[in-house]
Structure 1
Amino acid sequence: MNKFHTSRQENWLWKLSTLLILAAFVLQACGSATTVTTEPPVETTESPIVTEPPTIATETPAQVKRLVVVIGEEPPNLDPGEGTIIALNTYRNTYETLVAHDASGALVPLLATSWEQTNDTTWRFHLREGVKFHDGEPFNAEAVAWILNYLYDPDNNKHILGNVPTGTTAASVDEYTIDVTTPEPFPALPAALFFANIASPKAVQADTDGAFRTMVGTGPYKFKEWVAGEKLVVEKFPEYWGGDVSDIQEVEYTWRNESAIRSAMAETGEANIAVALDPADTKSGNVIAIPISETPFIRMDLPNPPLSDIRIRRAICLSIDRQNIADKLYGGYAVPATQLIGPNVVGYNKDIPLIPYDPAAAKALIEEAKADGVPVDKKITVYLRSTSDNTTLQMMLAILAAANEVGLNLNLELNEAAKHQAIARQLPVPEDRLAIFWGQHGNEMQDASFTIQAYYMPGGIHSTLNNEIGQKFVEMYQVASKLSGSERQTALAEVMKYQADNVVATCPIVHIQYIYKLSDGVQFQPRADHMILASEVKLP
């Protein structure tokens, strides 16, 4: 068994109990000495019998050059419709997309060689020829149209569904040309396709239970094995259309919940790259940090009281000390956030002010709501993955304590990843649910429509807004989403400002840096889109 492997359940229970009593324990390893008794050698005058060992011809097996990446948690599945950080960390050596990002973040061709807009609602993509899926199936317009229609079908409820307008469809034009049509103008469509993993239709259709325990794509590495609870391994695909992109033969993804363990694995050479480290684990080793589009935040159920009252939502946001979180929990690897997107995203609004830390104002809002009959003492459940890192857990405990201090009744519930995801994506919101969810949002699409569709629009995968609550907001976005250029920037920025002032479905906390640690001799430059491509890693 791997010397760094720990029980997940024991791990998060230990973390929670430690944090809740606010004490630091020093664990000392101790062991009893072992006494070894030996008999003195027996002297003999006889000559020893010496025999030559037989010579056996053996072949030394070739050593596999393997890149080992340790991440924070096991992927729940290998669904091509996932767009999470875990998916970006683990999928993209195997799945490919029509478009990609270069090192600067600019959109570049990948499985599509070019694209153009043929009318207000249709984009035409010209596909790369000579590409083959790992299962031998042909890569062509028919296959690409099928998988895009599968990913964007609302009945399939994929994580990336909200990236495009509902009703987006694809159709083949000829063997290597497809048209993607949206129900209304959507200039950001090419950028949205960065998240659409092109999987083999045959493999998806064969996965009748939707478990997605394998992945069949077109990338330079094909699926080899997934040992549940231990590792996911991909190996070189010899027929890759791009040729031999690396001397790395296999990529192994493994996972440890504790940042300190991931850090130690990189320092000892057990892993080549440790991902998403806590700031506390940056004091030694080869550490690289990069500003990324990720923003930790909380999102709130909107339909049921007391969270249906905007004064309560504002009070929660006012009770959060963002600067203290950035300085103390993130150790300077974060800055307070005014919104879920950063300055590099179309629609960022520089005029949205930082929500101040103002417990007195928060208390006043809650007292005002209580006087109007709002049931402010009702229990509100804060949901968090049990695999969350220490920084996230401490942050959520601080937010919970601050909200309770100003007069609310928040309680923390930790669940394993699959159960947490099922609760977080349960729509419509049950009548008896009062929930707050921690989230971490990254807008790799670099367009605010991605954020707005997912978190604020009615029907979004992470949105509990309805037309009654946000009618004007919806109308503003419907206009903004059709625009392009500077008009799009201005209109989307106004939508983001309206949300911050009049909807308050989320409380942004900080913009973070992503921290990696490399083992000795490894060369790797982190990307803003989280992908760890074997072709961009050099092993000693």
Structure 2
Amino acid sequence: MKTKSWITSGLLLLVVAIVLAGCGSSKESSTDSATNSKTLTIGNATDIESFDPHNNNNTSSEAVLVNMFDYLVKNDNEQKKVPVLATSWEQVNDTTWRFKLREGVTFHNGDPFTAADVKYTIDRVAKDSALKQNSYFKSIKEVKVVDDYTIDMITDGPDPLLLNRLSKMGAGILPSKYIKEKGIDAFLKSPVGTGPYKFSKWTKDDRVELVKNDKYFGEAPKWDTVVFRSIPEASTRVSELLAGGIDIASGIPSTDVERIQSEEGKQIVKAPIQRVLQLILRETEGTVTADPKVREAIDFAIDKQGIVDSIAGGAGIVTRTSVTPGNFGADPSLYKQTLYDPAKAKQLLQESGHAGAELNMTVSSQYKEYAEVVAAMLNEAGFKANLEVLEPSAFSERYSSKSFKEIFMIGIGNSLFDASNNYNRYLKTEAAGETDYNNPKVEKLLQDALVNMDPASREKQYQEVQQILAEDRPAVYLFQMEGIYGADNRVKFTPRSDEMFYADDITSVNG
């Protein structure tokens, strides 16, 4: 059987990367996590962007901030809405929802939580287009204060997703009095929420330290201190876990699973997550990827199942859609599907007249190994793929500025648990400057679905969108990822599909 050159080169690169990372990392010791059962330390690949819940745009940020800032409602482990700062809610009419708020809650600085804070928070994120979360909330027209503990939230039209919006990043309630008196810059340096954990220290690109909120309105926090460490190199995260420097390590490579499992006192914990690894393709006039045959060639050139088997260690499910089962609007006909055909990829590229064309692909270092294999596959199909690997913070800045060239690779989750979260990026205004995708039929379907209160017809709208995008290919979807975590046996940890780290869902076996 013919050996696939991309597997050989990709695995060689992977081994070299791991060896070099292991040699170059400096091992820090944690005097907290291994010796103090009341301190929880989690190692992530990326740092938070800031302490502004309205101006962050990645899951790693939200996974930290959910411990500091409460939502009106939140998702439980089965994605059902449960009360937090709102005790009850009802839909008054198609455009108005009434929320009863929890009394007796205080912010970390002692200010009382009232309806004024909800109004300030939602008005800010809904009206300031410069905020990264604005696109999720701009349908909210007004928040009316009925009394100190009752508000009416009014949308500019029917909104089937209001509760979904209020249970995700961007809806973390801010202290209006504190910010109005001190200013937003002072808040960002010393952030204040109502959550079970309070801000202690942030060393950018190193760690966020939180301490328990003794005055939390809910169940008493389980940990004295919670530390989120930013450790971009997977090999370093593994080393820190084995050395006792962290209790939980996210994003464990398949090549390290056996090593962790064989270590006394350590374990591997797996769970399917919402995240789909994908290539986003620029269709801007004048770029090679503006040619539909080039985009199709890219799709046919990639052996998705081979990547899952060789690099992900089988922890993934190939897909031609990013709306996976469990999300509203999923199209099962595109799930577990792939079009790998290297001969056809070469043929399409020849027909396009772009054989030998350069493709510039950018990726965050956390997905470096996947990108190296994809680049090898594209080269084998007749492209000249140039790979740019950025540290997570630099990638995030490039992502926000929409300044990638032909392709960028990214893993995108779904905090709304709804197809709109995946596909609103292809609305004309949202796509401008990123993909520049523009399909009038898709535009109408997406706009109509945003105000469609009938679940059955709304689901069909999103399924039709997925079928069109599968042919237009503004993105090439690779596979749904599985979360692989390493953990110390001293903690009991069950991963969530939304990748949140609610510290109080993680318990110490020592009590």
Bigger Rg, structure 1 or 2: 1
1:358 has 2:352 as partner = no
Structure 1 residues 462 and 114, CA gap change in structure 2 (3 angstroms): farther
Q: Aligned ranges for residues 259-270 of structure 1 at < 5 Å?
A: 259-270=234-245
CA contact (8 A) 2:208 2:229 kept: yes
Q: Aligned ranges for residues 199-214 of structure 1 at < 5 Å?
A: 199-202=174-177, 204=179, 206=182, 208=184, 212-214=188-190
Q: Aligned ranges for residues 114-513 of structure 1 at < 5 Å?
A: 114-158=88-132, 160-164=133-137, 168-195=141-168, 196-202=171-177, 204=179, 206=182, 208=184, 212-246=188-222, 248-283=223-258, 284=261, 285-304=266-285, 305-352=287-334, 354-370=337-353, 379-385=358-364, 388-389=365-366, 392-427=367-402, 434-453=405-424, 455-460=425-430, 464=434, 466=436, 469-483=438-452, 484-501=454-471, 503-513=472-482
Percent of residue pairs identical: 27
Alpha-carbon offset, residue 519 of structure 1: 1.1
CA contact (8 A) 1:92 1:219 kept: yes
What TM-score, normalized by structure 2, do the two folds share? Answer: 0.85
Counterpart of 1:441 in structure 2: which amino acid? Answer: I
Residue-by-residue CA offset, 1:264-318 (whole Å, 9 max, x unaligned): 3333322121222112221123111011111111111122322222221121111
Structure 1 residues 72 and 203, CA gap change in structure 2 (3 angstroms): farther
- 1:13 aligns with none
Alpha-carbon offset, residue 249 of structure 1: 0.8
CA contact (8 A) 1:295 1:509 kept: yes
Counterpart of 1:187 in structure 2: which amino acid? Answer: P
- SS of residue paired to 1:475: helix
Structure 2: 5+ residue runs without aligned partners? 1-9, 24-34
Counterpart of 1:292 in structure 2: which amino acid? Answer: I
- SS of residue paired to 1:215: coil
Corresponding pairs, count:
476
Structure 1 residues 534 and 466, CA gap change in structure 2 (3 angstroms): closer
- 1:87 aligns with 61
Counterpart of 1:157 in structure 2: which amino acid? Answer: L
Deviates more, 1:506-515 or 1:234-243: 234-243
Residue-by-residue CA offset, 1:225-263 (whole Å, 9 max, x unaligned): 1133432111111211114142x1111111222223322
CA distance in 1, matches of 2:330, 2:358: 34
What TM-score, normalized by structure 1, do the two folds share? Answer: 0.81
- 2:72 aligns with 98
- 1:52 aligns with none
Structure 1 residues 213 and 417, CA gap change in structure 2 (3 angstroms): farther
Structure 1 residues 28 and 397, CA gap change in structure 2 (3 angstroms): closer
CA contact (8 A) 1:315 1:365 kept: yes
Please tell me the root mean square deviation across aligned C-alpha atoms, in Å.
2.9
Alpha-carbon offset, residue 89 of structure 1: 2.4
Counterpart of 1:472 in structure 2: which amino acid? Answer: K
- SS of residue paired to 2:469: helix
Structure 1 residues 228 and 481, CA gap change in structure 2 (3 angstroms): closer
CA distance in 1, matches of 2:219, 2:507: 17
Structure 1 residues 445 and 64, CA gap change in structure 2 (3 angstroms): same
CA contact (8 A) 2:328 2:459 kept: yes
CA contact (8 A) 2:47 2:61 kept: no
CA contact (8 A) 1:95 1:215 kept: no
CA contact (8 A) 2:73 2:83 kept: yes
- SS of residue paired to 1:173: strand
Counterpart of 1:437 in structure 2: which amino acid? Answer: F
Structure 1: 5+ residue runs without aligned partners? 1-15, 30-61
Structure 1 residues 462 and 216, CA gap change in structure 2 (3 angstroms): farther
CA distance in 2, matches of 1:463, 1:495: 21
CA distance in 2, matches of 1:462, 1:72: 29
Alpha-carbon offset, residue 341 of structure 1: 1.7
